[in-house]
Structure 1
Amino acid sequence: MKEFLDTEVRWGILGVGNVCEVKSAPAMNLIPKSRIAAVMRRSEEKVKDYAQRHGIQKWYTDAHELINDPEVNAIYIATPPNAHEELTRLAAKAGKPVYVEKPMARTFEECEQMIESCTTGGVPLFVAYYRRALPHFVKIKQLIEAGEIGEIRTVHINLKQIVEPEIIAQLEDNWRVNPEISGGGYFFDLASHQLDLLAFFFGKITQANGFCSNQAGAYDTEDIVTGSFVFESGVLGTGNWCFTSSKTAEKDEVIIDGSKGQIRFETFGKGEFTLLKDFQEPFHYQVELPKHIQYPLIESIVHELLGTGKCPSKGESASNTNWAMDQLTKIKI
């Protein structure tokens, strides 16, 4: 495998907000041959505080300065989606590999522009769909490929959440329900993980159709989405997402049905799933998830950049997830 960098990945992070406190960035200093060289945030007070708390020597308030820092040789974009395309273009122009938070961008078109920028710049583009690297989901993929539940017939996503009072109270600061920043509502934030994970299992999504609506009026974008989709393997899927549900109806469940059994799991729960096979006792599989949930995926990125492994989440696969979400929310009721 081609080695893109020399002997160490030296990360520069753009946007050290909440996701960088535990989920992602700390792992970069724990993985061998990987370390954080510099961080950036527009607020000088906040970026300085982050750098001091995490033992990072260099910090910036300007993205251009961090990207062009000669010590930095890889860029992690941890900003909201509206900045992803521009920052990816700048990093690629500087010849530095890009790791970008999910969803990859606000629209499929922006994703395509990001891929083009990285292709032109000759750098790889990775996306933070870290569930592709978590051990229980890797195990599910292995069971499917081994034929443990036979030929896959259908897959169904059922995600229902209530609107927390604090979400309503802080709408002005909640970029996840501002489509100009996020591309949509909680569907774009959460369903993106689910659709991408299923594409990891069954191949890219080739067809998708759906309906969306704003039923509760709690914010100014879709709060309910239903739809169907087809994977290149021929597996058929359906989804039902409601983010203004009742407490009684709350649900996070994905069901994969095969000709010989079924697999059930939560996307956002513990590291576990249940395997049900005809005429056998249910098998419950559980592992402890890493403290820094992105560790396995970031480790795979480091290995690919150093020529010793391969990352399962790239720009091409992540852009397909955006394409599917665009299709599922195209018809507004």
Structure 2
Amino acid sequence: MKRLIYLVMILLMVTVVSACGPEEPDVITLMSHDSFAISEETLSIFEEENGVTVELLPSGDTGAALNQAILAKDAPLADLFFGVDNTFMGRALVGDIFEPYASPLLAEIPDELELDNENRLLPVDYGDVCLNYDKAWFAENNLPLPQTLADLTNPAYEGLLVVQNPATSSPGLAFLLATIAEFGEDGYLGFWADLRANDVLVTNGWEEAYYGSFTVASDGERPLVVSYASSPPAEVIFADPPVEEAPSASLVASGMCYRQVEFVGILAGTEKRELAEKLVDFMLGQTFQEDMPLNMFVYPANENAELPAEFVAWTQVPEETAVLAPEIIDANREQWIEAWTETVLR
């Protein structure tokens, strides 16, 4: 009888140990737009340090992803959201979906990138939407480069420019905002009417414009494209066969570029606030920040992060970018896009 009791106790102990087994790592979910990218090696550093798995939830372009997050406010889809930029910042804050968090890493972020004084959205990266040009094409055709946005309406540049629809494209919207900042609400539609008369080409998205029409990256016939100041280094890094210099460059004169700042925020209602804070700190720290440029081709917000050599060599940084306050953008975005559509597409 004693032996039977002993065997039963052993079986119970084995069952308990098996049930308790090694604990599954905790999971924290980061919602983002589809263009979010970071190396597995970098993400694994955070996971190993915190005994957690980071689950990525790409959810479309910035506008679509943000809309999903706002609609799911009462039952959040994730713990954090990355990818709200300053063109959608007003909508995000009005939606009241983020919890404030004053990360200690903000001490390493320039003040001009910190656009939310309540720290609901914390800056992670920035990039400049500019006009990129085909260096060889302009040299071969002996055509001077446009020095201002207004120059683009000159007959010399007829049929040379491809842009993106601001209703469907983030860089397209940024470029529209640059023209509003430059010409004002009373003048930007006149500029666009002149561009239409000068045979501007409009595509739905960046890839279609860059890889479908831009002479540097396609068989297209347009040597001017709305893109990013960080596009030229990508042309060097991914060149096959290798090249010694970037075939494209950016026009960075005052008022010709629009700076996009991307943010991360902790979603209200998360049950993993402490882990969410740690992930925000990690994203603002040097390890993550120094891995971003060659994954997303953006500039790190942390001023202590070192840039890859290719960025230093081939990216031009505008001295003065176009600026519109997030609340002004949010109040007028839809009517500006509708007016643009009437002027340029209809």
**Same topology, TM > 0.5:** no
Larger radius of gyration: 2
Relative contact order, higher structure (CA 8 A, sep 6+): 2
Q: Which has the higher strand share?
A: 1
Normalised by the length of structure 1, the TM-score is 0.32
TM-score if structure 2 supplies the norm length?
Answer: 0.31
